[in-house]
Structure formats: structure tokens, C-alpha cells
Amino acid sequence: MQGSPHKKKALVLDTAAFLAALQLLMYGIELYTPRSVVEEVKDFESVQRFQLSESIERVKVEDPKHSFVSKAVEVARRHGVLERLSNTDLDVLALALQLSSQGYDVVVLTDDYVLQRILIELGLGFRPVKTRGVEKKRSEE
């Protein structure tokens, strides 16, 4: 489509996505993950699948810039959930924010409900990996 206003799509994968080997099942879309997610993938089969996907350039390992990590921390603090997010969760959020700022239509693959709620608040997409995921905003938050 010439002159299409559609943004380039990017998926940000968290640890659950790698444990489910989703990086080997998706084509035609850019896949990103921060190094901290890779460090959480420890079982032999998942490590082997990750190494394969990295060797064939299916996944781009990219650490978010410090300014986006700071923004992710501030967003989590503002929503009162900072203590419920790991550093890896914050890296995933920061990378999603960074890619979005670069013009990508970002979807985060995560089963983390706290992270899903923040993504909803920020207007960023997510897809659950093995869970149902958050269906709507909770009114009490």
C-alpha cells in the first residue's frame, strides 16, 4: 500500500514468551527483548531455542535507554505498583515505551497482570502468553 499511514509493528517479548517458544512461531513482525529477559531464560530447551532464534536473527536483543527505564519507573511509581514489578518487568515496559516513541505499534507478550494493567493505562498493546490476561481496567486502581 503506497503511502500507508500504518505504523511498523513490533512485539516485545517477556520471559513467558520465550518459555513458550513463541519467537520461533512468529514471522513478518519485528521481535524485541531486553537482555534481562534473556538472563531469566534458564532451562536447557528454552536456552537452545533462544540461541537458535538469535542466530537466525529472529529476535533483536536491545536494552532500553536509561531515560526510558526512568520513565518506566516513574509510571510504575505513579500507579502505585513499583514494588510489584521486577527490574526485568521494568526493562520490558521501558523497551515498549522506547519502541513506541520511535514510531512502532508495540504489543508486549506477557502474562504479568500488573504489567498488563500499566500497558492498558498507557495505551500500549499486550497479548497474554498462557493466561487469559487482563480484560479491562479495574475501577479501583
Coarse DSSP helix, strand, coil percentages of the chain, rounded to the nearest 5 percent: 50, 15, 35
- Residue 41: closest CA among 66, 65, 59, 67: 59
In CATH, what number does 8-127 get? 3.40.50.1010
pLDDT in tens, 75-127: 999 999 999 999 999 999 999 999 999 999 999 999 999 999 999 999 999 99
The pTM of this model reads 0.84
Separation of alpha carbons 83 and 62, rounded Å: 24
Per-domain boundaries in the chain: 8-127
Q: Using DSSP, state whether 65 is helix, strand or coil.
A: coil
C-alpha cell at 122: 498507557
The CB density around residue 129, as the number of other CB atoms within 10 Å, is 19
